[in-house]
Chain A
Amino acid sequence: MAIRAFLLLLILFSSSYYAVALYEDQVGLMDWHQQYIGKVKNAVFQTQKAGRKRVVVSTEENVIASLDLRHGEIFWRHVLGDNDTIDAIDISMGKYVITLSSGGSILRAWNLPDGQMVWESFLRGLKPSRSLLLTPTNLKADKDNVILVYGNGYLHYLSSIDGDILWKMDLSHKGVDIQHLIHPEGSETIYAIGVSDLSQFEAYIINARSGELLKHSSMSFPGGFSGDISLVASDKAVVLDSSGSILVSISFIEGEIKFQPVNIANLVQHISGSAVLLPSKLAGMVAVKIGKSLSFIKVTNEGRLEAVDTIPHVEAVSDSLPFSEGQSGFGLIQHDGTKIHLTLKTGNDWKSHLLKESFKIDQHRGLVHKVFINNYIRTDRTYGFRALIVMEDHSLLLMQQSEIVWNREDGLASIIDVTTSELPVEKDGVSVAKVEHSLFEWLKGHLLKLKGTLMLATPDDIAVIQRLRLQSAEKSKMTRDHNGFRKLLIVLTRAGKLFAIHTGDGRIVWSLLLNAFRKSVTCENPRGLKIHQWQVPHHHALDDNPSVLVVGTCGLNSDASGILSFVDAYKGVELNYIAPHHSISQVIPLPFTDSIEQRLHLLIDAEGYGHLYPKNPEAISIFQEELGNIYWYSVEVNSNVLRGHVVKKNCVPEIGDDYRFESSDLWSVVFPSDSEKIIATSTRKLSEVVHTQAKVTSDQDVSYKYISKNLLFVATVTPKSTGEIGSVIPEDSWLFVYLVDTITGRVLHRMSHHGSQGPVHAVFSENWVVYHYFNLRAHRYEMSVIEIYDQSRADNKDVLKLVLGKHNLTAALSSYSRPEVITKSQSYFFPHSVKTMAVTATAKGITSRQLLIGTIGDQVLALDKRYLDPRRTVNPTQAEKEEGIIPLTDTLPIMPQAYVTHALKVEGLRNIITVPAKLESTTLVFAHGVDLFFTRLAPSRTYDSLTEDFSYALLLITIVALVIAIFVTWIWSERKELEEKWR
């Protein structure tokens, strides 16, 4: 009984710490957090006034950010909603950043210094149209700066103080596509020009104060227009005709439209290929891209077109920048091998240039995609220029005076897939002197730490301690460590660039822009899909470097041809590249490796053929042996069908491709389309390790987990409830969940939740699945757990049978044997919306698991699996309490200390990846979105190693004290004995 009470006490004591929380001074010790913004779409400089120079950018990740122009750091940043795409940005009155988003329907103003939203205006319209934003600088309505917005067919005129709509005008009639808003300097009229019916040029002249339409003129051009109108002055524009060979200069002074068509061939000699008008806004001229070269064509005051120059190999042209009275310049970028040349030209004097600079650039940044220029006044009162450059790999560079001032790796804001690689093993040959030095340092550090614990440290000491802890050289070493904490995270970004990130401190070890994933003639829309470990050399072949396989496809359709690239994980060089003719719809890593430890992969194409990689005879022979045992499944969301496939024994010799295998359909599960729609599927991670199948319950009973890698969780809803929350009434909405065996297609379990709907997020691990959905009746989110147990093994509890060997524990678990499974299930409320879910993974699967929930607030919450245990009851018995069963509550608790991301946010969170460390208690967690966050977790605390803050100095002091005490007592005792003898 006493033991029992003690056990209970122990459990109570241990259960008071469900999650391992962090002390504030431990931030950055095991975790790192990096902030990104994504590929820059537009940039506006704010450098006029003294003080902090900044550039405001909007990006493809729907981020609006203010960056420090000196160092590239983020002053402030906002991530808008997923469908709230930013159309235009500008700065108004020198203190507000104006963003137009959501297809021209939401206009927001942000305070420039701190990023606080000042006002928000919703602009209604009838039909979607181009969205334009114009902030005239000198047009003042009642001493108020104003903003002009065209969006959804309406022209709005707003005050920039509070976003009030002063007037609006419907310009949507007759399907006119307004392309430019112009406010000629010093006038009180606004021009809106556009095209209707592809051939009619329209110009509206509007009184800015009253919103009254002064004049509407239109004129049709017989040849028709193609592409966008390029504006060259406040009353002149240029456009290409529909054939693409004639440039039309349009002047619309006071609404009088005049066309002056000129054949491009007459302007520019030796042209080849079709002409494209660049969207850059250049003062008084247009840039026409013909083939690879760029022709600049000037528009004279009379509206005549004159060719100025043709420059070959121009990659990007900036908008023109007015920098002094009547002068304006623009930048153009040319590529030349590893160098890029930036040239600044003025429109007035073509012969001379303001600036010509060359920069050496990392070739893994690719081509220049965009350039923005800005001027500053040097100390000698001349004009200097800086250029903000967006590269092909989505990185952002600032160039000034022939050097790169700073760069940001913003490609990391759009990670597609992640894999890990072990670091090389440490070679021997560490010098003794180094050890001694580090021993001394180590002792000094620990003494300092002890001082800290004893509250004797001065603030300076505390700062030193914190720095020592954060910059420990140990964690950023480039070698494998004993605990397996140091690894390389290999990430594939949307730009087709691979990065290797060190888990210790988050630095980029190498980066590689894959040539195969760059836009080319043969591959129009390259797109990365997956990244797999290709070759993981085992201990006997440590000289080889591991490599990864990057899988991509060339187009947006499912039948586009694939791309395979093999990359060395240590050096970051492409080893091999294959452009197969077949498409890739699924990649199945097989559990076999060949003699040089290349993992066999089966790539399934859109027609259902399997292609085996690596393409060598050995792989074929390994594969032939296992031919009948290779199954996979496919989920066809559109047609609501699950299908199971098997590789057929006969390959197709007549085609001459030994590596191509036919497959046949084994089974299919068809969900009736009028009542169910597949919204989510989830399966176990292939690499997951389960320690034991048996689960011993408190009453000395054993239940056997049904552990199969071939289980698939499928969630379907009634078609009505596929929409947003609140679009259906609870009575019409059903959520069904299925557990399907993917070998036989047998449905092992089916459950329905009435009055519930998606989105469903599910995670499958061991013998349980946890899923998150919305309960419409309670109008709250819910999480449910299903656990499956194997009933056929339940009668193995008889000891006699076990002794006599009459048990079936050694029988192979087969999907074909009809399983007797029982399931247990329970549901709980959960307060937050969920973006993504994951589960911790440890090396041996002994440590209890935690769910990692990416909440809508972009935080990651660790929730112990014990809270999602179907055996929870309101009043657990004494025995159940001892086992660690928590009394049932209707809501899952959210403890702030259980947020893995503590006080940080992983903005735009998309995915959470868990990787086991070598140390059983620990798992590595990498969460990515626009930001990156890495940490390591110990779901049941670090029971197998000393914690970071273990005081070695205290231990040493204790040992020394004990030794001294031993000697003192020895002397005492000896003296006493002597006295005794003398007595």
Chain B
Amino acid sequence: MAVMHKSMTILLSLISLLSLCSLLPSSLAIASGSSDGYTINGRVKIPGFSLKGSGLATKASNVKVLLNGGQSVTFLRPDGYFSFHNVPAGTHLIEVSAIGYFFSPVRVDVSARNPGKVQAALTENRRSLIELVLEPLGDEQYYEIREPFSVMSLVKSPMGLMVGFMVVVMFLMPKLVENMDPEEIRKAQEEMRSQGVPSLSSLLPGAQRSN
């Protein structure tokens, strides 16, 4: 096989075009060689490496980029760039594993017919990428947020309800009784006595003594 220059560079980031120009020659230098593989270059961009709510701080050093379900694994350079070498032509899948972020896998087509042409698309929402810049679709919060203490939560708990019910009985019931017609109360009390329904006081120990 003739020595062919079959490198594809799909790492143009709009934001850091300037810094890229200095990086491009080196990546081209790597890719030029006499073998049948291609090089996929890309970049992972995570907005602000700070993670609230999780125990571990995610660092760029803990991010892994995986090709075809772990066939090859690579890591990020400090500027977020990564590359896979010696990749055959065909359709590939790139996944990013970063604690705290959800990345969509990316479908990357490496074409053998017209070298240099690479297509990439997010598989989750079928959005095609102009350049291989991978950004998280969202943050991942691994923990439930503990709700701050509120009186309502205490009241809503079974014990709170118990206490609440008791308060209602203690303070509202007498009020209800007071609002009733004294005649009616007497009638009711007499009725109760005649039926032998014990009053609250008679239920309690020692109540009989007072009777």
Contact = CB atoms under 8 A, between A and B. Distances in A.
Nearest to B108: A726
B146 interface: yes
A454 B75 contact: no
A859 B62 CA distance: 13
Contacts of A81: 66, 70-73
A724 B71 contact: yes
B64 to A, nearest CB: 7
B128 interface: no
B157 A725 contact: no
A857 B142 contact: no
B144 interface: yes
24 contacts: A22-B144, A23-B144, A24-B146, A81-B66, A117-B75, A118-B77, A119-B77, A120-B74, A121-B30, A124-B35, A725-B93, A726-B90, A726-B93, A779-B123, A780-B123, A833-B70, A855-B97, A859-B99, A894-B102, A896-B142, A904-B56, A965-B170, A969-B200, A978-B210
B107 interface: yes
A118 B76 CA distance: 8
A403 interface: no
Interface string A733-757: 0000000000000000000000000
Interface stretch (A496-504, A819-827, A954-962): A954-962
Interface string A894-919: 10110100111100000000000000
B148 to A, nearest CB: 7
A904 B142 CA distance: 10
B149 to A, nearest CB: 5
Interface in A820-845: 831-833, 835
A306 interface: no
A25 B154 CA distance: 20
B2 interface: no
A124 B33 contact: yes
A962 B92 contact: no
B61 A115 contact: yes
Contact of B91 (A164, A726, A903): A726
Given A84-B73, A726-B93, A455 B143 contact: no
Interface string A427-456: 000000000000000000000000001110
A281 interface: no
A114 interface: yes
Interface in A943-983: 954-955, 957-958, 961-962, 965-966, 968-970, 973-974, 977-978
B159 A116 contact: no
A80 interface: yes
A894 B103 CA distance: 12
B86 A122 contact: yes
B105 A725 contact: no
Interface string A762-804: 0000000000001010111100000000000000000000000
A974 B210 contact: yes
B105 A780 contact: yes
A454 B151 CA distance: 9
B166 interface: yes
Interface in B89-121: 90-93, 95, 97-100, 102, 104-105, 107
A76 interface: yes
A857 B75 CA distance: 13
A105 B71 CA distance: 15
Nearest to A162: B26
A124 B6 CA distance: 13
Contacts of A903: 54-56, 99-100, 142-143
Nearest to A84: B73
Contacts of A165: 29-30
B204 interface: yes
Contacts of B53: 24
A87 interface: no
Interface string A71-96: 00000101011111000000000000
Nearest to A20: B144
Nearest to A21: B144
Interface string B177-188: 000000000000
A116 B86 CA distance: 23
Contacts of B75: 78, 108, 117, 120
Interface of A: 21-25, 27, 76, 78, 80-84, 105-106, 108, 111, 114-122, 124, 126, 162, 164-165, 453-455, 724-727, 759, 774, 776, 778-781, 831-833, 835, 855-859, 891, 894, 896-897, 899, 902-905, 954-955, 957-958, 961-962, 965-966, 968-970, 973-974, 977-978
B166 A962 contact: yes
A76 B62 CA distance: 9
Contacts of A122: 30, 39, 83, 85-86
Contacts of B141: 896-897
Nearest to B106: A779
Contacts of B191: none
B140 interface: yes
Nearest to A25: B146
A454 B149 contact: yes
A859 B91 CA distance: 26
A725 B149 contact: no
Contact of A857 (B64, B83, B148, B200): B64
A407 B149 CA distance: 45
**Which 6 residue pairs spanning A and B have beta carbons closest together?**
A857-B97, A81-B73, A896-B140, A122-B85, A833-B69, A726-B90
Contacts of B149: 453-455
Given A23-B146, A76-B61, A122-B39, A832 B105 contact: yes
Contacts of B61: 76, 78, 111, 114-117
Contacts of B35: 124, 126
B190 interface: no
A454 B160 CA distance: 14
A904 B55 CA distance: 9
Contacts of A968: 170
A715 to B, nearest CB: 16
B163 interface: yes
A171 to B, nearest CB: 16
A969 B170 contact: yes
Interface in B45-73: 53-56, 59-61, 64, 66, 68-73
Interface centre among A80, A115, A124 (most CB of B within 10 A): A124
Contacts of B69: 725, 759, 774, 833, 856
Nearest to A894: B102
Contacts of A116: 59-61, 78
Nearest to A106: B85
Contacts of A859: 99
Contact of B95 (A24, A455, A778, A833): A833
Nearest to A898: B142
Contact of A973 (B72, B124, B148, B200): B200
A437 B209 CA distance: 43
A22 B144 CA distance: 6
Given A21-B144, A726-B93, 9 more contacts: A22-B143, A83-B71, A724-B71, A727-B88, A831-B105, A835-B70, A896-B142, A905-B99, A970-B204
Contacts of A832: 95, 105
Contacts of A725: 68-69, 71, 91-93
A120 B83 contact: yes
A84 B102 CA distance: 25
A22 B159 contact: no
A725 B69 CA distance: 8
Nearest to B89: A726
